[in-house]
Amino acid sequence: MPERRNAAPRRPARPSLRRRLLTFLLVPVFGVLLLDAVIGYFVALAYSNRVHDATLSDNALTLSEMIDSDALRGELTEQARFLLEYDPNGRNYYTVTSARHGRVISNASLGGPDVAVDAPPRLYDTELGHRPLRAATMRVPNRHDAGDTLTITVAENLRDRHARAREILLLTLPMQALLIVAVLFLVWLGVSHGLGVLEPLTSRLARREHDLGPIGEEDVPVEILPLTRTIDDLFARMRNMLGLQERFIADAAHQLRTPLAGIRLHVERLADTTDPAQRDDAMAHVQRLAARAARTSAQLLALTRTQSPDLPDSDGMATIDLATVVPEAVAMRVHQALAAGVDLGYEGADVPCLIRGDALQVQEAIDNLVDNAFHYAGRGHVVTVSLACGENDVLLAVEDDGPGVDDAFLDQLGERFFRVPGVDEDGTGLGLAIVESIAERHGGRVTFLHAASGGLRVELHFPAISTSSTGQDRSV
């Protein structure tokens, strides 16, 4: 036998707005049709009962008028018997009882409630041999025996009532079904026409190629506005991401051009010379330029990462204690400070300093501030990292006793690729820009001041949170 291949899995049907609307409209309409049929039947049955009850009361009144002396002897006239017993679907039943003489005439044993003399016939439900009946009873004076009263009861089965109700239902149901079909057609037509208003919007979006601008709301139905506004928000995030990508590429091309060109130049020197001194000098330049290119690339990536809209916002951050994070970050830089000949210190309170943020980003900000102080203060100077906890904000500061920055350049610190003129140290001009971006991400701010010792003081102000408002998400 040939090997039976496994059938490919069937793809689930795509959701259809038209099918969904028609389903939500047509299913209730069919339910209404069924409910209408049930209600129509009971309305027809009530009408049939009212007509038959009136006839049954008339029969009881007619029998009371047709009773004569023969009836009191147990016999009925042919007209009375025909009136009472004629029924195409069965028989009617009757009983005439005298207060003095007991049962006078009857074709069934029918009991009934007590009624007043000369009162209108009273209608009630009863049974005869487990057969449901509808009966009418009345009490009248005996015209042939003064002082005596006659109780007259007539009854009929319920088959004819139900038959009449079914006939009424069958007469009205086709018209109602035709009306429902017309309603269904109008619903389908209305849904199809209503969805047609999306065609201009669809055509306008189809004509777009690389346009990520807002869709606009001039031809958008009110019901679709939440969707188009969500798409506009998505377009805005995509524009931001593409902008960051383009800026990163442009910055990388601009900042890496010089070190890469220098590396190429010195590699050519290595290839063209056999002098050991020149080879050592060229190799030193290659190493320095390669380190500069690596640092520039790392800081460009760090800056782009802090500006990315995909990073969690303040609602997605955790409660961190800067009194723990900052000393650990400073301790990790001690060996580098010793190698650079810089006196690195920390000043801070022992009480918790809680903020809402990301510990890794805060540590990255501290690293950039310390690196900046190392580079521009220089060997033999002092760099101090301090932390102060206020009621409304937490102050993280890094200051040095180096040459400082002129007042004319303080406002430009933090700008991308800005370097203070006259500084010989290699730098990318991105460290303080990264710090400002991290501060903005945490809802804080950065200020650049002159230190008391004459150097530069950089302050980060973070919004503080009280210890009573922290939950289970505290992290360090």
DSSP assignments along 29-76, one per residue: HHHHHHHHHHHHHHHHHHHHHHHHHHHHHHHHHHHHHH--HHHHTT--
- Confidence band (pLDDT; 50, 70, 90) for 418? low
What is the chain's percent helix, strand, coil content, to nearest 5?
Answer: 50, 20, 30
Residues in the chain: 476
Residues 6+ apart with CB under 8 A from 371: 431
Mean pLDDT of 446-464: 87
Q: Which residues of 253-285 are buried (b: 16+ CB within 10 A; e: fewer)?
A: eebbeebeebbeebeebbeeeeeeeeeeebeeb
- The pLDDT score that the predictor gives to residue 310 is 52
Which among 125, 147, 140 has a CA at the least distance from the CA of 52? 125
| pLDDT over 90, % of the chain | 2
**Residue 158 burial by CB count (10 A; 0-12/13-18/19+): exposed, middle or buried?**
middle
- The pLDDT score that the predictor gives to residue 408 is 75
Structural contact between residues 152 and 63, judged by C-beta atoms closer than 8 angstroms? yes
**Residue 185 burial by CB count (10 A; 0-12/13-18/19+): exposed, middle or buried?**
exposed
Asked if pLDDT for residue 312 goes beyond 60, the answer is: no
Mean pLDDT of 306-310: 57
Query: Which structure tokens are listed for 113?
Result: 């409630």
Whole-angstrom CA distances from 294 to 63, 199, 228, 259, 291 are 119, 52, 43, 10, 5
Q: Which residues pair with 383 in a beta bridge?
A: 344, 400
The Cα–Cα gap between 355 and 464 comes to 5
Residues 6+ apart with CB under 8 A from 158: 132, 133, 134
**Domains of the chain (ranges, CATH numbers):** 19-166 (3.30.450), 222-307 (1.10.287), 314-475 (3.30.565.10)
The Cα–Cα gap between 395 and 371 comes to 19
Cβ–Cβ contacts within 10 Å for residue 17, how many?
10
The Cα–Cα gap between 289 and 283 comes to 10
- Confidence band (pLDDT; 50, 70, 90) for 391? confident
Mean pLDDT of 310-339: 78
Which among 303, 311, 405, 291 has a CA at the least distance from the CA of 357? 311
Helical ranges in 122-224 per DSSP H: 159-195, 198-206
Sign of CA dihedral 253, 254, 259, 261: positive
Which among 333, 384, 385, 353 has a CA at the least distance from the CA of 466? 353
The region, left, alpha or beta by phi > 0 then psi within -120 to 50, assigned to residue 108 is beta
DSSP assignments along 95-122, one per residue: EEEETTTEEEEESS--------BTPPPE
Q: For 411, what's the count of Cα atoms within 13 Å in the CB-facing half-sphere? A: 2
Asked if pLDDT for residue 14 goes beyond 70, the answer is: no
Asked if pLDDT for residue 53 goes beyond 80, the answer is: yes
Helix (H, G, I), strand (E, B) or coil at 236: helix
pLDDT tens for each residue of 84-129: 555 555 467 888 888 888 888 877 788 778 888 888 999 998 888 8
- The pLDDT score that the predictor gives to residue 314 is 46
Asked if pLDDT for residue 274 goes beyond 70, the answer is: yes
Structural contact between residues 451 and 369, judged by C-beta atoms closer than 8 angstroms? no
Residues 6+ apart with CB under 8 A from 291: none
Which among 256, 210, 211, 240 has a CA at the least distance from the CA of 308? 240
The Cα–Cα gap between 213 and 220 comes to 15
pLDDT tens for each residue of 227-262: 778 877 877 777 776 765 666 665 555 556 656 777
The Cα–Cα gap between 435 and 420 comes to 17
Structural contact between residues 453 and 381, judged by C-beta atoms closer than 8 angstroms? no
